[in-house]
Amino acid sequence: MVRVFNLKNVLSVILTLAMLVVLSVSAFSTGAYAVFYGNTPRLVPVYSVDRQDKVVSITFDCAWGTEYTDAILNALKVSNVRATFFMVEFWTTKYPEFVKKIDESGCEIGTHSSTHSYMSKLNAEEIKKELTTSSEAIESVTGKKVDLFRAPYGDYDDELIKTASELGYYTIQWDVDSLDWKDLSASDIAMRVINGAKNGSIILMHNNGLHTAEAVPIILETLKNRGYSFVPVGELIYRENYVIDGTGRQKAAQ
């Protein structure tokens, strides 16, 4: 059988492979983001981490109020768990005593932007300002560098992740959504998290959900009884030489 090769198709394949190689090198060299290969190469944040051990991260977004924050911190302390809190700048500047309290509890702090905007609608300079000023507000209280970022509403595009990466931030999403912002009951929130968690999961919660503080002790106790341990996101993720698959799962590069 004689096979006829279409030169145009061959050149297209070669060009695509070359593009993927370039993007892969770029991703690995920065150590701050990875490339998702679908029909079109694009950048994606970390939704979860490929871990063989039963380790997860519980995270809290801070944008509105503090009424339940002390109860959450107390539950974390009782269970000897360190979480990650993502803070918006206007929350940080309004409640510096809580920023300090969270930091001194041993928990980790990342930025959740400056103004809680849909950041895929911003240009690179606007994104830089959102990340820079919000991080500076946190660092002025804690004295610690911020290198984790969660986009408000989980809204992102290539420009956002690329810009965040160039500034040295790891963009973090989640694979377990508690939906605590919908004011679900504590048991409903807890069961969503407990049933969704797996090795390397990143759990999304909010510091001021109506029943979040009631759900947290149930989540921590149940998952611990199932053999899971908790670490901050910064200790869960790979920081260099990684890839991210189509589900947003971060894996060590082979």
| Alpha-carbon gap, residue 32 to 36, rounded angstroms | 14
The pLDDT assigned to 246 comes to 82
Rounded Cα distance, 184 and 154, in Å: 20
- Cα angle: 246, vertex 252, 254; to 5 degrees: 95
Phi, psi of 36 (to 5 degrees): -100, 125
Q: What is the pLDDT of residue 35?
A: 52
* Active-site entry in 53, 61, 175, 180: 61
Question: CB of 199 within 8 A of CB of 55?
Answer: yes
Q: Which candidate in 112, 116, 206, 211 is catalytic?
A: 206
Alpha carbon distance 41, 39 (integer Å)? 7
CA distance 145 to 23: 28
State residue 254's pLDDT score: 81
Q: Is 206 a residue of the active site?
A: yes
**Whole-number Cα distances in Å, 41 to 13, 19, 34, 36, 50:** 14, 9, 10, 6, 21
Residues 117 and 129: their CA atoms lie apart, in Å, by 12
Active site residue 211: no
Q: Which two tokens stand for residue 128?
A: 């830089």
The pair of three-digit structure tokens given for residue 129, joined into one six-digit string: 């300002």
What's the one-letter identity of residue 130?
A: E
Q: What is the 3-state secondary structure (H, E, C) of the chain?
A: CCCCCCHHHHHHHHHHHHHHHHHHHHHHHHCCCEEEECCCEEEECECEECCCCCEEEEEEEECCCCCCHHHHHHHHHHCCCCCEEEECHHHHHHCHHHHHHHHHCCCEEEECCCCCCCHHHCCHHHHHHHHHHHHHHHHHHHCCCCCEECCHHHCCCHHHHHHHHHCCCEEECCCEECCHHHCCCHHHHHHHHHHHCCCCEEEEEECCCCCHHHHHHHHHHHHHHCCCEECCHHHHCCCCCEEECCCCEEEECC
From first to last of its 254 residues, what are the pLDDT tens digits of the chain?
434 435 444 444 444 444 444 343 334 333 444 454 455 678 899 999 999 999 999 999 999 999 999 999 999 999 999 999 999 999 999 999 999 999 999 999 999 999 999 999 999 999 999 999 999 999 999 999 999 999 999 999 999 999 999 999 999 999 999 999 999 999 999 999 999 999 999 999 999 999 999 999 999 999 999 999 999 999 999 999 999 988 899 999 98
Distance CA 202, CA 117 (A): 22
Please give the structure tokens belonging to residue 183: 């004011």
